[in-house]
Amino acid sequence: MAREAKQEYRYHEDGAIALYRRPNSAMWYARCKLDDGVALNPFSTGTDDEREAVKIAKKRMLYAEVDRERGIEPGGKTFAFIAEQWLKRKRVEVEKGISTKIKVDAYEAIVRRFHITYFGKTKITEITPRKLTAYEDWRATYWTTGPGSLAETETIRRKDGKEYVRKTKRIARGKRDAEDTVLRQIFKFAVKEEYLPVERMPTIGGKQNGSTNGNGRHSNRRPAFTAEQATKLLNYDANEFYPISDKMTPEAVKRLENDRMVFKAWLALMLGTGLRPGKEHQALRWRHFEQHRDQQGRDHLFVTISKDTKTGARTVHVDDEVYAKYLTPYKFFPSRDDELVIAGTYGTRFKSPDDFVFCDQDTGAPIQKFDRQFHTMLRNLKMEKDDNGDPFTPYSLRHTWATLKLNAGMDMRLVALNMGTSPEMIHRHYGHDNTRSRAAEFTDMWLTEEDGE
């Protein structure tokens, strides 16, 4: 027995327009073909009058021809469709170990909350610079007068699958930069899969809320510590704020001091290399460090970053002071478990080439992040925000290395090479030249010069 057709079509305009109704709906839907056979995406005409539906379909076909004249191809895929395909690709990367579940979960939350909500059924070829500007305006007011202002709570799914409800968090500008990054990835995916011509790839994220440079454009400088602040970080002693108590057990004291020791070594290496906190520090093993002597006979320490990080394998120079003052004791001094120890000064237990550099001193497992110790340190030092009121994050250590090197005159290309990024990114985000950092170059001589007359 032949299968019954899902829809009964009514053809018009020599078959170029096919009208049909969906079950339990009186509205006419349309499928249209242009003169060259290109099919438009099916759409609802919004009317139950057949004659009116034909008029609406003909108008849609006319608009499609006009779009074609403007370089917008008819029949393109919607943003929602492409975003879903991109998310599927990311899930496959998780299965293959290329990406992590927590990262892709964060991507999906961004895409569904903001990008699909706004662009949804809009064809990818119809997202113009004007529409992106409109999106930026919508996104800027999302939490104040937009959809987010109506949400009192949000449901969060934990790693173990359990859910809980919390008060809705407002997202800072830094997070919005991450949203722009995700949106760019979706458009790049669309180009790669030939849903979008490469020449139609828009510029995303040009509208920033940071400070402006000399040209009146937004510079989006990232929070970085000054040289004086960086020195305070390296001199930080947690025991001054949270002394070891006589009531603590020997095991508790050992655990606390080991945690502080590893954190101090991590802090120094971040400030002395410009590494990305997170995946770049997690994978470091002692075998990744090597010394090199230059033509002047001076020794340098380098660390090799693994190829599965954000920008692939690279060799990073370690500042001399960090190497001599912090890493050498951490690597070569006896640990608490050795028979011969130096009172008050200890090194890591795990010193073999394949041991992780920043690891739990009981298990040897790599420590994933140091956010808690970092923010506790800033609170104790009363240095939680920069002069503009922007909060410091662990990434500020990376920004600090770049800023201090640029202010000291290091070539921008060399800074970019060490950090695993491009000179364009360095120019856009780093180099906080200001009157305070270059105070020594000012002179008051003109105030005291005698008049030549």
Indicate the Cα dihedral angle 217, 223, 227, 231, nearest 10°.
180
Which tens digits make up the pLDDT trace of 78-107?
A: 899 999 999 999 999 889 888 888 889 989
| The architecture CATH gives domain 227-429 | Orthogonal Bundle (1.10)
The per-residue pLDDT for 211 is 42
For the chain, give every domain's residue range.
10-69, 79-200, 227-429
Average pLDDT over residues 398-404: 93
Which tens digits make up the pLDDT trace of 359-383?
A: 999 999 999 999 999 999 999 999 9
Q: Who contacts 65 (Cβ-Cβ below 8 Å, separation ≥6)?
A: 34, 74
Q: Which amino acid is at 121?
A: K
Q: Of residues 330 and 157, which shows the higher confidence score?
A: 330
Task: Fill in the DSSP letter of residue 142.
Answer: T
The per-residue pLDDT for 342 is 53
* Coil vs helix vs strand at 137: helix
Per the CB < 8 A criterion, the answer to whether 378 and 384 are in contact is: yes
| Average pLDDT along the chain | 83
Q: Give the model's confidence band at 394: pLDDT under 50 very low, under 70 low, under 90 confident, else very high.
A: very high
Measured distance CA(262)–CA(312) in Å, rounded: 26
The per-residue pLDDT for 213 is 42
Residue 218 has pLDDT above 60, yes or no: no
Q: Who contacts 323 (Cβ-Cβ below 8 Å, separation ≥6)?
A: 272, 301
* Coil vs helix vs strand at 10: strand
Per the CB < 8 A criterion, the answer to whether 391 and 385 are in contact is: yes
Task: Calculate helix-pair angle for 79-95, 101-110, nearest 10 degrees.
Answer: 170
Lowest mean pLDDT among 4-8, 177-181, 182-186, 324-328: 4-8
The per-residue pLDDT for 215 is 39
Task: Fill in the DSSP letter of residue 345.
Answer: B
Which tens digits make up the pLDDT trace of 26-74?
A: 999 999 998 888 888 788 898 999 999 999 999 989 888 877 776 666 6
Q: Give the model's confidence band at 398: pLDDT under 50 very low, under 70 low, under 90 confident, else very high.
A: very high
Task: Calculate helix-pair angle for 101-110, 173-192, nearest 10 degrees.
Answer: 90
Q: Tokens in use for 293? A: 């002597």
Q: How many CA atoms lie within 13 A of 323 on its CB side?
A: 14
